[in-house]
Amino acid sequence: MSDKDKTNQQWGGRFSEPVDEFVARFTASIDFDKRLYHHDIMGSKAHAKMLNKAGILTTEELDSILNGLAEIEQEIERGEFEWSIALEDIHMNIEARLTDKIGIAGKKLHTGRSRNDQVATDIRLWLRDEIDLILSELNRLQSGLEELADKECKTIMPGFTHLQVAQPITFGHHLRAWREMLVRDSGRMEDCRKRMNQSPLGSAALAGTTFPIDREFTARELGFDAPTANSLDAVSDRDFAIEFCSASALILTHLSRMSEELVLWTSQQFDFIEMPDRFCTGSSIMPQKKNPDVPELVRGKTGRVNGHLVSLLTLMKGQPLAYNKDNQEDKEPLFDTVDTVKDCLRAFADMVPHIRSKPENMRAATKKGFATATDLADYLVKKGVAFREAHEIVGKAVAYGLNSGKDLSEMSLDELKQFSDVIEDGVQDALSLEGCIAARAHIGGTGEKA
């Protein structure tokens, strides 16, 4: 049977002529939704078991359907399955092939369901598995950051605000700040997974079905927590896809911020870290170049994922209930978001544990911006000076340092005392980089004890 002969065969009774060849190509989704094949077959098996339980399929018909679906899945995995644009989508391609293989029993499989609830079920099943993989990569990256942070817990570096040297911190503390972002990302993904883990199967086109189906059975069979509560909402809801893309956009935003810092830190102007050669590239014209292409590309891919989120929000904003053909446009941005997030997380999880710090350069940079100025102000306050007055005193000391070319920690006791009589011997301990960091031992601080 040719593609032309197959056109509309699953729903052609209402039509007096076949769909235009261009329209068939324009409306088909098989080129991208065929990646749902495993979950489509998984849903069909559960549906067939339920139809048998309800007395709609005989045991012989059920066995024939289950065996046929298993054979089709093997054909797809071996690359032997012939996909047809004329059959529009993954659901009709598989159903047509099943009917070719086992006859009339294949046509009974669609009893009590619609492609509307079928695709809604498939996407949730597929996305649930993909979220589990993403969570695994997030966990791997978090572990890598924690391992590197432990190694760098005493490595002093400047902390920045406005990209200006602000206060001393440790490299380990900075890495743990990255990890905190990812912990929140994991929580959002877990929350998204939990909220979407409801089964639309059995909602049919929009109103449910007249057949005595058991939606609790199929929900359990497919590992869902429960069936969806409203058939109209179930087939038209894409909140879970939007929520996933929102969480993904935040993941990429966080990776992009990390990427920006890695790019800065590998530059000759900073020279804080060394990245493994295998995560960098060279220049076709400048032989000295070592470019941090992996973090640069991750930074660039953030815009792509943010765009997919806006695309899905725009897709859904004007749709009346229930299902509309517009919803076919949900898959490509969703699929690409999943692929992009997984690839970016894998790149970072592979790369981060092998970053090597340059402690001498970090320490030298920390001394350039009067990073201990706040500690001198705190020292004065502890001696009874009002904070605003202390702020002014330290400002004058900084001005003196700029003129003399000395950091606060390099000034003698006599030089410091000219700004305040309360300054005494021992102030140098408060102004040392190690002293500044050790003093912040409270929960969340940069001190090693924290």
Domain boundaries, the chain: 3-7+19-111, 129-155+170-363, 373-431
Answer yes or no: 283 catalytic.
yes
pLDDT of residue 6: 47
Report the interhelical angle of 331-351 vs 293-316 (nearest 10°): 160
Give the residue with greater pLDDT, 5 vs 436. 436
The Cα 237–Cα 30 span in angstroms is 21
99-108 pLDDT per residue, tens: 999 999 999 9
Note whether 172 and 152 are within 8 A (CB). yes
Average pLDDT in the 383-403 region? 93
Cα–Cα dist 41/91, whole Å: 9
Supply the pLDDT for residue 16.
64
What is 129-155+170-363's CATH topology?
Fumarase C; Chain A, domain 2 (1.20.200)
C-alpha distances out from residue 147 to 144, 152, 411, 448, Å: 5, 9, 37, 15
List, for residues 319-374, the tens digit of each pLDDT value. Answer: 999 999 999 999 999 999 999 999 999 999 999 999 999 999 999 999 888 989 99
Which pLDDT value is given to residue 285? 82
Range with the poorest average pLDDT among 84-98, 117-131, 419-433: 419-433
For the chain, the maximum distance between any two Cα atoms, rounded to a whole number of angstroms, is 100
Strand partners, 157: 169
Q: What pLDDT sits at residue 3?
A: 45
In this prediction, residue 426 has a pLDDT band, given cuts at 50, 70 and 90, of confident
Closest CA to 347 of 310, 295, 308, 300: 295
* E strand or H helix that includes residue 79: none
Give the whole-angstrom CA distance, residue 295 versus residue 399.
Answer: 38
| Phi and psi, residue 233, nearest 5° | -70, -35
List 357's β-bridge partners, or say none.
Answer: 273
Residue 304 to residues 252, 298, 301, 338: CA-CA distances in angstroms? 10, 10, 5, 12
CB under 8 A, 24+ apart: contacts of 136-141: 137/342, 137/345, 137/346, 137/349, 138/182, 138/185, 138/186, 138/189, 138/251, 138/345, 139/186, 140/345, 140/349, 141/182, 141/345, 141/348, 141/349, 141/352
* Residue of 2, 16, 162, 284 marked active site: 162
Cα dihedral 174, 176, 179, 184, rounded to 10, equals -100
For the stretch 326-340, what's the b/e string if a residue is b when 16 or more beta carbons lie within 10 angstroms of its beta carbon? ebbebbebbbbbbeb
3 state DSSP class of 138? helix
Q: Do domains 3-7+19-111 and 129-155+170-363 have the same CATH topology?
A: no
* Higher-confidence position of 5 and 280: 280
Contact between residue 427 and residue 382 where contact means Cβ atoms under 8 Å apart:
no
> What's domain 373-431's superfamily in CATH?
Fumarase/aspartase (C-terminal domain) (1.10.40.30)
The reply to whether 162 belongs to the active site is yes
* Residue among 283, 354, 404, 442 flagged as catalytic: 283
The pairing of strands 156-161 and 164-170 is antiparallel
pLDDT at 2 over 60: no
**Angle CA 419–423–427, to nearest 5:** 120
Architecture of domain 3-7+19-111: Orthogonal Bundle (1.10)
- Cα 309 to Cα 246: distance, rounded to the nearest angstrom: 6
The predicted-structure confidence for 12-21, as pLDDT tens digits, reads as follows 566 667 778 8
pLDDT of residue 448: 79
- How many other CB atoms sit within 10 Å of the CB of residue 392? 14
Q: Where are the beta strands (DSSP E) in 275-386?
A: 356-357
Enumerate residues 6+ apart whose C-beta is below 8 A from 185: 138, 247, 250, 251, 254
Calculate the average pLDDT of the chain: 93
Contacts of 314 (CB under 8 A, 6+ apart): none
